[in-house]
Amino acid sequence: MLVESILLTLVIAAWRKAGQKGQWNPKREEMFQAAMNKLRDPEKLIKLADLLEKDGHHAKAYVMRKRAALRKQTDAQKAQRKEAYEKGMKSEKIDAILALAKAFEDLTATGAAKNLRERATYLRNRNADLEVQQWKKYNEKREASQAKEEPPTVPDKPSTIPAPAPPEEPAPITEDELENPPEETESASSSPNGVAHA
């Protein structure tokens, strides 16, 4: 308790020294992060949020108040949050893990949100690796089966489908037909290609 009071006093004093009203600089960001991570007393976080608000840093004040609300949670709420976090870390459902990470981030539980996002990234990469391995195995099996394939063999039994009949040959031309060819009909001789038209 005494350590937190000293820390709060130092943060406020350094805050005023770090810059003019309305200016956000790296030194102030460093102090903001230290307060968010180190201060456990919600009342002290609210005092800092008021100071941030007064300096015109509304978004940072909002985040600080959310952190104070997180610190004020009851033991039952903390147990529920812990249970949800542990389920998320064991889950295989990437979309659900990312949704849970967003919920934790909204509560300003940024450490838990970061861990959940890392879990989702791990699962995404692992699933991609598994998919590549499955494709490799599939291709290896396919190539092995293609290499083992033999040309089709002739069946032992004759086919039950009858063979097609040979085409009929025209009757041989006799000597009489060669000497006296049949006369063409009038309709066949009148067409240019010799085909009769009806």
The DSSP secondary structure of 146-159, one letter per residue, reads: HHH--PPPPPSSPP
Are 12 and 35 in contact, with CB atoms under 8 Å apart?
A: no
Are 73 and 81 in contact, with CB atoms under 8 Å apart?
A: yes
- Give, for 137, the enclosing helix (H) or strand (E): helix 110-148
Mean pLDDT computed over 122-128: 89
Q: What is the pLDDT of residue 117?
A: 94
Closest CA to 124 of 89, 93, 147: 93
Are 55 and 21 in contact, with CB atoms under 8 Å apart?
A: yes
From first CA to last CA, the distance across the chain in angstroms is: 118
**141-142-146 Cα angle (round to 5):** 115
* Single-letter code of the amino acid located at 149: E
Band (pLDDT 50/70/90 cuts) for residue 112 is very high
Write out the two tokens for 53. 């608000």
Q: What is the pLDDT of residue 3?
A: 62
Mean pLDDT computed over 52-62: 89
d(CA 196, CA 169): 24
The count of other CB atoms within 10 Å of the CB of residue 85 is: 19
**94-92-121 Cα angle (round to 5):** 45
d(CA 121, CA 98): 9
Q: What is the pLDDT of residue 172?
A: 73
pLDDT in tens, 91-109: 999 999 999 999 999 888 8
Per cent of the chain over pLDDT 90 is 27
Write out the two tokens for 99. 């949704």
Average pLDDT, the chain: 79
Who contacts 64 (Cβ-Cβ below 8 Å, separation ≥6)? 32, 35, 36, 45, 46, 48, 49, 52
- pTM (two decimals): 0.54
Residue 192 has pLDDT above 60, yes or no: no
